[in-house]
Structure 1
Amino acid sequence: MDAGGEEAKQERHLVLAHKLFLLSHPDLDDLAKVALRSDALDAVKSDGMAPLFESLAAAGVLEPDDALLAEMRARIDEEVRKLDEKIADAEENLGESEVREAHLAKSLYFMRVGEKEKALEQLKVTEGKTVAVGQKMDLVFYTLQIGLFYMDFDLISKSIDKAKNLFEEGGDWERKNRLKVYEGLYFMATRNFKKAASLFLDSISTFTTYELFPYDTFVFYTVITSIITLDRVSLKQKVVDAPEILAVIGKVPHLSEFLNSLYNCQYKSFFVAFSGMTEQIKLDRYLQPHFRYYMREVRTVVYSQFLESYKSVTMEAMAAAFGVTVDFIDQELSRFIAAGKLHCKIDKVAGVLETNRPDARNAFYQATIKQGDFLLNRIQKLSRVIDL
């Protein structure tokens, strides 16, 4: 797939949102921020985003420029006047579909210049002029894009619920599949990685939401959410061997090694790839707030997988397998054991790890006994009633 072509289709305000996120990132060097600042200013100027320019200037992200701000505001006023004239003309002289199109044009213009509240208000007006379910869904997608630009999770959640209600009236598969990716992104951004992985995996072969991100970014999200939520068998079937993922996984640095070394139990390679992945996760707008949580979850998965094979193992052997020191393993495992994430104990004197994971078969047996007792009690009570 042509990544460059996909990049061109990405909604430009979401590209801008990512650049603004990077500008506020403490880990990015000043030289990179100079180029980003220039790109952001060009994007804001080309779309005449007066409200955004004003807030960025007030925050010290961009240099204040009163003349530029006044010029952008004048341009907005003039354009809104023209759009209102077109709406009035359509209402007087044309049909319902032309009236709707004129209102939609005004909604899209408010979106373009970054007038969030006016855009949402105008989209509601446009919805009132819209009959077809598919067109109503398209309005919801516009609202979701506004929500993603501002990271307004309340707006995103309500819009997804609204879209699902619309689908009960009808709607085509293409839009339903697009909604899955929007919903998956929402779940990932709100730390529900299990639901995100499920929705992303459902969308691998039907992905068309290039307005959100290119396909290789989608595969990146799919792999990293799957690694911490799927068991080994499911990971192999749905991710490791998935032809759609295999076709593009090489485009994302370290991702193939990250996935395959984990599945193939090559722990030294995994830790090398893992350190390479941390930068990408940290510099991702949707994942960065969950960086520390994700790092913990991945380590839990990999340590659990290693310990699964042993009743007991020396700490030296584990440290050698991971290519780290015994002290590092000691500190790491102590934290995870204390948090209840790993089922093992450390024999510090012998330098041995002993696993004490719950026995699933025994737990099932105990549950069956408990349910059997409950059933017998119910039968005894029932027999007393019948005897009477």
Structure 2
Amino acid sequence: MSVCPPLAPQALQLAIKEALKGRDPTLYRNIFVTYERAHSEAPEEIPELSTLAIPDQKWIEETTSKNLAERTKLEVDLKTYTSNMIKESIRLAHRDLGDFYRAIGEQASSLKHYTKSREFCTTSQHVLEMCMSVLELLMEQRSYSHIGTYVFKAEAALDSATNVRQPAGPQAPAGAAQTGREKRHAEREKVTSKLDIATAISHLGQSNYEKAALSFLKVGPPKGLGDWFGKLIAPGDIAIYTTLCALATFPRPAIRTQVLDNDTFGLYIEQEPYVRELLEAYMNNRFKTVLEILDRYSARHSLDVHLYGHMPALTNLVRSKALVQYFQPFASIRLERMSQAFGWSVDELEQQVVSLIQSGEIKARVDRQNKILKAKETDQRAALFAKAIKSGQDMQAANRKLLLRMRLQQADLVVKPPKGQGGMHHMMSHPSELLSGEY
């Protein structure tokens, strides 16, 4: 609500509607508290809460009562199964309690019961189900740094579960065996797509934009999202995340081959048509259009739960890459011409260019008097000689080390290392590493 005050009233109504579908009274109350806080910060832009909605105390009381009754029942069931030492029932009881606490917003308790159920898993499929539940919870919590751990565990469990599933017996018809293999393959593809999404979200949350784009591009067709569709992520979200991360980090050939020419990713682009317009504008060097599209959809991006904190960095990376790419073919260019290509004032463009020069992304200098950007001239002949001399010095140093090693071996000279510090290979290679100059 504070990100985009004009949308606060509409956001309030939608949030209340969604909260009433669930069973989390704390979340319901927090919606009103958050709106009141936003109103106090911008009273002229955001209307008073009383003119839009009031808390439904009856729903809060009824939901709280139902939650208490169900919690008591589930905890009694867990105690009963624990006393009877029924392993599978204990696992299911922990899973049900994890689902319950997740539904009422107590995420720490939910994670505790999900992870506790691991002790009572008897098959790889059980472990996989536990990992997927934890991953869903971590994505909702935006605990990006922990997602990778459970993706790794889920991949190991998936491999194990796939290996232990035997195809149809030797007496089964060939058609039945083929159907069984296809079904298992489809199930594996769905789980793999979910794990790729979780990995990509983790990278995005930790500002590893290139890795995020690569992981999103591994995701299979939208139908493979299964029950995550619309609950944790939408196909349109994948299109936006991938495109922004790719534009910020990929070179032009990679954008063409891995993004625009990717048939599977094309299914996601169809969900957000402006994404294709953005990609094509960038590839055709229409950078003014690129920046206009980013600005036009800035509210959409800023309101995204995973993207909002990264938009300034992503926009800056896209802008910087565009400037570098535009200037690359020129030995010199007037800042006025560049400013027209990007839709900026000359002063604003000059500021952007100077920052890129200072960071080393553009090898050039600015003529402030004539408003010209000139590339730094490099002496190719001197650079070639310097490279050749450096290569010769490196080769001489490597040859000296090899000669020393050969002479040590010929003299049967062995230096025994302390216990626990490697074998003969380490002993023989260690002396040669000490010699870096003349001998």
TM-score category, normalised to shorter length: 0.7 to 0.9
Change (3 A) 1:381 1:245: closer
Name the stretch that deviates more: 106-115 or 90-99.
90-99
Give the equivalent residue in structure 2 for 1:321: 341
Name the stretch that deviates more: 72-81 or 355-364.
355-364
Give the equivalent residue in structure 1 for 2:324: 304
Query: Where does the alignment leave 5 or more consecutive residues of structure 1 unmatched?
Result: 1-22
Is 1:41 aligned to 2:53, yes or no?
no
Is 1:114 aligned to 2:105, yes or no?
yes
Task: Please give the alpha-carbon distance, in whole angstroms, between the structure 2 residues aligned to 1:273 and 1:45.
Answer: 35
TM-score, with structure 1 as normaliser: 0.80
> Does the 8 Å contact 1:147/1:155 carry over to 2?
yes
> Does the 8 Å contact 1:191/1:290 carry over to 2?
yes
Give the equivalent residue in structure 1 for 2:371: 351
Change (3 A) 1:132 1:368: farther
Give the equivalent residue in structure 1 for 2:218: 202
Task: Please give the alpha-carbon distance, in whole angstroms, between the structure 1 residues aligned to 2:278 and 2:350.
Answer: 23
Give the equivalent residue in structure 2 for 1:270: 290
Q: Which amino acid aligns with 1:28?
A: P
How far off its partner does 1:142 sit? 1.6
Is 1:229 aligned to 2:206, yes or no?
no
Give the equivalent residue in structure 2 for 1:152: 143
Which of 83, 92, 109 aligns to 1:101? It is 92
> Does the 8 Å contact 1:254/1:276 carry over to 2?
no
Mapping of residues 343-382 of structure 1, within 5 Å: 343-356=363-376, 369-380=389-400, 382=402
Which of 151, 172, 175 aligns to 2:191? It is 175
> Does the 8 Å contact 1:257/1:269 carry over to 2?
no
Is 1:189 aligned to 2:189, yes or no?
no
Name the stretch that deviates more: 73-82 or 353-362.
353-362
Change (3 A) 1:367 1:201: farther
Task: Please give the alpha-carbon distance, in whole angstroms, between the structure 1 residues aligned to 2:332 and 2:311.
Answer: 31
Task: Please give the alpha-carbon distance, in whole angstroms, between the structure 1 residues aligned to 2:198 and 2:383.
Answer: 39
Q: Which amino acid aligns with 1:44?
A: A
Name the stretch that deviates more: 219-228 or 32-41.
32-41
Which of 284, 288, 293 aligns to 2:304? It is 284
Task: Please give the alpha-carbon distance, in whole angstroms, between the structure 1 residues aligned to 2:385 and 2:15.
Answer: 62
Name the stretch that deviates more: 219-228 or 174-183.
174-183
Q: Deviations over 1:311-362 (max 9, x none)?
A: 2112222223233332332222123222333332211223221123989999
Is 1:141 aligned to 2:132, yes or no?
yes
Q: Deviations over 1:198-252 (max 9, x none)?
A: 1111215475242421212211111111111111111111112222333442542
Task: Please give the alpha-carbon distance, in whole angstroms, between the structure 2 residues aligned to 1:308 and 1:189.
Answer: 32
Partner-residue secondary structure (3-state), 1:212: coil
Question: Which structure would you say has the larger RCO, counting Cα contacts within 8 Å and 6 or more residues apart?
Answer: 1
> Does the 8 Å contact 1:254/1:277 carry over to 2?
no
Change (3 A) 1:142 1:383: closer
Task: Please give the alpha-carbon distance, in whole angstroms, between the structure 2 residues aligned to 1:370 and 1:257.
Answer: 47
Q: Deviations over 1:238-287 (max 9, x none)?
A: 11222233344254253222111110112332232232233332222212
**Among the aligned pairs, what percent are the same residue?**
19
Task: Please give the alpha-carbon distance, in whole angstroms, between the structure 2 residues aligned to 1:71 and 1:145.
Answer: 27
Which of 330, 338, 342 aligns to 2:362? It is 342
Task: Please give the alpha-carbon distance, in whole angstroms, between the structure 2 residues aligned to 1:82 and 1:67.
Answer: 23
Which of 229, 237, 245 aligns to 1:217? It is 237
Q: Which amino acid aligns with 1:263?
A: M
Give the equivalent residue in structure 2 for 1:242: 262
> RMSD value over aligned CA atoms?
3.4
Task: Please give the alpha-carbon distance, in whole angstroms, between the structure 2 residues aligned to 1:361 and 1:99.
Answer: 75
Name the stretch that deviates more: 364-373 or 184-193.
364-373
Change (3 A) 1:277 1:40: closer
Q: Which amino acid aligns with 2:254?
A: S
Which of 28, 37, 44 aligns to 2:5? It is 28
> Does the 8 Å contact 1:255/1:277 carry over to 2?
no
Change (3 A) 1:119 1:323: closer
How far off its partner does 1:364 sit? 9.0
Task: Please give the alpha-carbon distance, in whole angstroms, between the structure 2 residues aligned to 1:356 and 1:383.
Answer: 43
Q: Deviations over 1:107-144 (max 9, x none)?
A: 21121111212211221232222222233122222212
